[in-house]
Amino acid sequence: MVALTEERWGHILQGHPEMAAHEDDIAGCIQAPDMILQCERDRNTELFYKRLQRSPGYCLSIKVVVRFSDIPSGGTSGEVITSFKVQNMVGGSILWLPAHLTL
């Protein structure tokens, strides 16, 4: 499970006010990402990406940074740290790609 708390949503809007209309896109990115990367700086953090817009020579994606932690009952729980729009899906090693996507 991944949570987007009110505190984190406020943080996102403060730093990236253009994300105000994209709360559903954040949820969609977590539920059905185009790619997930392992963060280079924190092994408990994963970078979720979902394409928002694509045209020849241009791709705009949403990036959702999620930090995971172990929970006492077993398994893991995630919290959205931040989210913003990007043109490049970079920042770590590939953890997951959909089967139809190849590099």
pLDDT recorded at residue 99: 83
The rounded radius of gyration (Å) of the Cα atoms in the chain is 14
Locus of tokens 């994300």 = 19
pLDDT recorded at residue 101: 64
pTM of the model as a whole:
0.92
pLDDT recorded at residue 56: 78
Domain boundaries in the chain? 2-92
Give the dihedral sign, CA 76/32/86/89.
positive
Model pLDDT for residues 76-97, shown as the tens digit of each residue: 999 999 999 999 999 999 999 9
Coil vs helix vs strand at 16: coil
pLDDT recorded at residue 31: 96
Give the dihedral sign, CA 10/85/78/46.
negative
